[in-house]
Amino acid sequence: MTLLQPADATLDRTPVKRTVLMCRPDYFTVSYRINPWMHPEDPTDTSLAVRQWEQLHRIYTDLGFDIELIDPLPGLPDMVYAANGGFVLDGIAYGASFTYEQRQPEGPAYMTWFREHGFDVREPENINEGEGDFLLVGERILAGTGFRSASHSHEEVERIFGREVVTLGLINPSFYHLDTAIAVLDPVSTDAAPANIAYLESAFDEPSLEKLRTLYPDAILVSEDDAAVLGLNSFSDGYNIVIAARAKDFERQLRERGYNPIGIDLSELLLGGGGVKCCTLELRR
């Protein structure tokens, strides 16, 4: 692992310790197709997926994160994508209700874990895929719809958490979850650095782009090439940002803004349509 130092050290970016939930990909494979990244006819290497996941786990450990683990279950190869298991904020865990039947058992499995670990679990009334489509940026929740999470789940989240929820329409099937099209760079606002994001413009409809341009005028606009390797599917502590190693221009953009990008190869897990953020569910008590 190489920790790259930012070119502009005058920018005051302070890392904030994170607590995350992860799931080892012991049963990872691609046996069905529910997104454009998945090709069941192509072989997958479960042992390689585990090794790549373990590297991500080591990076988070080196960054000082608190890491919780949920046991993987046989027959649920996508359970490694923990971000889809719910949305956790203020000690409340809003459970997931998956669009496709192949992943539907994951919702109860994650809700059971939340209950056993002291969270106030709210069972969903609407289809939603957790933090895949709900991103906390400062005090605001950005919420995606168009392919997976139903727009009514946005109203549900607003009611449960009492936060502003901004609905964003996704239009590119390759970026079917919000966390594939937006990276949260600064999860919390500070005097030195207001909450900010990076995003792929072509992933959104025009009304959503107008919202993003208004709310985040200083956002990083990421290239199609970097988005195509799920470069935006990243995880930040406000200074260190773990990204896809192949997202080289995004890496440059981050360094120029005073962040510390850390590249990782999760190419095997990409075969299922997931990257860094997909493997990472933040636990906020």
Q: From the candidates 39, 117, 152, 177, which is the catalytic residue?
A: 177
Residue showing tokens 């606002």: 189
Among 175, 184, 137, smallest CA distance to 274 is for 175
Q: Is 39 annotated in the active site?
A: no
Query: Strands 92-95 and 66-69: what pairing?
Result: unpaired
Q: Is 154 annotated in the active site?
A: no
Query: Strands 19-22 and 66-69: what pairing?
Result: parallel
Instruction: Measure Cα distances from 142 to 9, 63, 133 in Å.
Output: 30, 26, 8
Fill in the amino acid letter for 256.
E
Q: From the candidates 23, 154, 278, 279, which is the catalytic residue?
A: 278
Active site residues: 177, 278
